[in-house]
Amino acid sequence: MDTHTPTLGLEFESGLTLLEVPSPRSTILHRLVGARLTESATEHDPETNATAYWIDARNTAATQVLYDCVSSDRTLESLRVARAFTAYQHHSLVRRVTRQAGPETELIVAPNVASLYHDADLPEWEREGLLAAALETLAELGRVLSCPILVTSADENRADTVAEYAATTLECVRTREGIRLVRSGEEPTDDDGEMGSAIDDTAGYWHGTHWQTTIPYWVDLYGAVAEGQSIVEAYDRGLLEVTA
């Protein structure tokens, strides 16, 4: 068994890859980004342009988790993050990436890619079209730049929509060794075969030369801070006391 690169074996193909994750708070994507940028950091001059983009939804881009996934903070210097809080913003970010990304871009990720498009503030009639446009743009971007575009979805029904645009769909399957990524519809294999790669998500995970603690574990457990509330909402929920 290969003990040195258990998380890094997976070579993502260029184009859109859907990762079906067990929960919106899954930190698998963080680890994959960390692993990918660790690999490329040796080849790239950190002074050059951004090489990876993270289009965030639902406050997934926990910086502590990302830093925990790399042995040196510098590894993440080429990552650019922007958060969307509405589907409109998400769609705009996807379009913005098409303008900013270039040949040097190695990776684009969009966790919970379909999630915001199901919020109540987006009218029913607009959802499908806006999401389709975002996914199509991402898929096209993957083809044009020949770089992997990783998106995740924790919701099965939405995952089906996303899968229509994805070149590859990977499922996260829980095994005794941890979580294993397998191509959709295939059985998890025990050897580190071509089918998938294991990510140990038990107490900690092996990272090259040392054990990291499991910040992802408590992010899963507690989540990031609850969705920020406006003071008005806080009042509506009886959380606030204000005296004139």
Partner 1 sequence: MSRTDPYAFEFDDGTVREWRLTDRGAEPTLVEDYTPALFVSGPDDALADLRARLESDPKTVETRVERWATDLHEAHVGERSELLRVGCDRVDDVRQLAREIRGVHESGTHAPGTFRLFDVDLEPGFRYCLDRGIDPAPTRELRTLRLELEDRELADGDVSGLRIEDEPVAGEDGGGDPRSALETLRTRLEREDPDVLVVSHGELIPLLSEHATELGFEEDEFHLGRVPGWTQLAGENTYESYGRVGHSPARYRAPGRAIVDTSNSFLWNQSGLAGLEYMVEQTGRPLQEAAWGSIGTLLTSRQIRLARREWAVLAPQNKWEPERFSDLRTLHAADRGGFTFEPKVGFHEDVHEIDFASLYPRIICEHGISPETVDCAHDAGDFVHDSHRVPELGYEVCEHVPEATDGDAAFLPTVLEPLLSDRGDIKARLADDPAEPEASRLRAESGAIKWVLVSCFGYQGYRNAKYGRIECHEAINAYARDVALTAKRRLEDAGWRIVHGIVDSLWVTPREGVEPEPLEAVIDEISADVGIPLEHDGSYEWVCFVPLRDSIPDGPDEGAGAFESGSAGALTKYFGKREAGAYKFRGIELRQRSTPAFVAESQRAFVEALDRERDPEAVCDVLERRLSSLRGGDVDPSALEITTRVSKPLSAYRKRTRTVAALERYERRGIDRQPGQSVRYVVADDDASGPERVRLSFEAGGEYDVDYYATQLVRACESVLSPLGWDRSRIRRALHDGRLLELSAFVD
Partner 2 sequence: MGRTNPTYRDALRGLESEWKPMRRALRREYQADFDRLFDRGRTFADAAGYANPTDPERALLLSLALAHEVELRRLRAELEEREQCNDRTAPEERDGRTTAGGDERE
Listed in sequence order, the residues at least 6 apart from 165 whose beta carbon sits closer than 8 Å to its beta carbon are 16, 132, 135, 136, 138, 139
Count of CB atoms situated within 10 Å of the CB of 200: 16
Handedness of CA 60, 65, 71, 76 (dihedral sign): positive
Identified binder of partner 2 from the candidate list 44, 80, 83, 127, rule CB under 8 A: 83
Least Å distance between CB 73 and partner 2? Answer: 6
- The alpha carbon torsion through 158, 226, 110, 102 (nearest 10 deg) reads 160
Q: Residue 120 Cβ, how far from partner 2 at the closest point, in Å? A: 16
Nearer to partner 2, 15 or 111 (CB): 111
Q: Of residues 201-220, which lie at the interface with partner 2 (CB under 8 A)?
A: 213-215, 217-219
Pick between residue 56 and residue 201 the one whose CB is nearest to partner 1: 56
CA–chain centroid gap for 81, Å, is: 11
Quick check: 41 binds partner 2 (CB under 8 A)? no
Task: Answer with the entry of partner 1, partner 2, none that 214 interacts with (C-beta below 5 to 8 A by kind).
Answer: partner 2
Which of these ranges, 1-9, 59-67, 176-184, 192-200, lies near partner 2 under the rule CB under 8 A?
Answer: 59-67
Which pair of tokens denotes residue 132? 């389709």
**Among partner 1, partner 2, none, partner that 20 touches (CB below 5 to 8 angstroms by kind):** none
Q: Which is nearer to partner 1, 79 or 181 (CB)?
A: 79
Residue listed under structure tokens 């096209």: 140
